[in-house]
């Protein structure tokens, strides 16, 4: 029988913390909540939860500092919460190492879905262990060519432009507006749908060469990251 996953929530809004605890508990997780960030790093390292939900604004020590300190010592999955939409770009720019972000107000069901997705990815990595096949996507920016596991892939010019931005900074989450500015600066008329469409096409072409491998991680409501 599989071990019950433990979630540790740092949230100083008592009502919200209670709601999140209720939903995650109903989803089958063991949940603990804390309202102060002063000893958050020590608590996380000492209790070793399977995932941490971390509010950006906490008394004692803020979520940004906690995440940075924790990442120097642990790879525990972290979902950051923020009440201010403008903070998302700052968090992305600082590359603090969180696995996902949620802007308040958000649906508790959305948090449950994010938690399930992150823990599912972690479980897959653990199961694969030493048998994991390391896929490789290579870009030749001078010739505008790409290969996946040594096989040439017929990406379009715009797909290469988009991949180039993501590929240069593995793990960095780029918003759609950032991708539009960095990859398609010469184009005047672009929308979020343009980025989503190119990402979909890139994924299909990669999978045609490497099975189920998907090198691009979606961060709901934010953007995309290349996973090396």
| Residues sharing a CB contact under 8 Å with residue 150, sequence separation 6 or more, in sequence order | 136
Overall average pLDDT of the 78-101 stretch: 69
Domain 133-226 of CATH type 2.30.30.40: no
Spatial separation of the C-alpha atoms in residues 29 and 23, rounded to whole Å: 9
Q: Which residues pair with 146 in a beta bridge?
A: 139, 153
CB of 43 closer than 8 Å to CB of 68? no
Burial (Cβ within 10 Å: 0-12, 13-18, ≥19) of residue 30: middle
Spatial separation of the C-alpha atoms in residues 211 and 180, rounded to whole Å: 28
Domain covering 6-130 in this structure, CATH number: 3.40.50.2300
- Each domain of the chain, given as residue ranges in start order, spans 6-130, 133-226
Question: What pLDDT shows up at residue 18?
Answer: 96
Question: What pLDDT shows up at residue 50?
Answer: 94
Spatial separation of the C-alpha atoms in residues 57 and 23, rounded to whole Å: 22
Please write the tens of the pLDDT for every residue from 59-78: 999 988 999 898 888 889 99
Any idea what the Cα angle at residue 134 is, between residues 160 and 130, rounded to 5°?
165
Name the average pLDDT for the chain: 84
Please write the tens of the pLDDT for every residue from 151-184: 888 899 889 999 999 988 888 888 888 888 888 8
Please write the tens of the pLDDT for every residue from 1-12: 468 999 999 999
């Amino acid at each position: 029988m599989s071990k019950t996953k433990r979630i540790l929530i740092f949230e100083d809004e008592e009502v919200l913390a209670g709601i999140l605890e209720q939903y995650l508990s109903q989803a089958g997780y063991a949940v603990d909540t804390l309202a102060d960030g002063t000893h958050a790093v020590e608590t996380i390292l000492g209790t070793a939860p399977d995932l941490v939900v971390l509010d950006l604004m906490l008394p004692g020590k803020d979520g940004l500092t906690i995440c940075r300190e924790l990442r120097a010592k642990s790879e525990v999955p972290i979902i950051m919460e923020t009440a201010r939409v403008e903070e998302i770009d700052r968090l992305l720019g600082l590359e603090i190492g969180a696995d996902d972000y949620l802007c308040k107000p958000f649906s508790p069901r959305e948090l449950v879905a994010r938690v399930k997705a992150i823990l599912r990815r972690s479980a897959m990595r653990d199961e694969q262990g030493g048998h994991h096949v390391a896929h490789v996507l290579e870009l030749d920016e001078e010739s505008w060519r790409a290969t996946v596991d040594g096989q040439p892939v017929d990406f379009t010019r715009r797909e290469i432009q988009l991949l180039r931005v993501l590929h240069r900074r593995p793990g960095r989450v780029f918003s759609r507006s950032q991708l539009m500015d960095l990859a398609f600066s010469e184009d005047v008329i672009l929308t979020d749908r343009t980025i989503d469409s190119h990402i979909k096409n890139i994924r299909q072409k990669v999978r045609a060469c490497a099975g189920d491998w998907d090198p691009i991680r979606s961060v709901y409501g934010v953007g995309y990251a290349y996973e090396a």
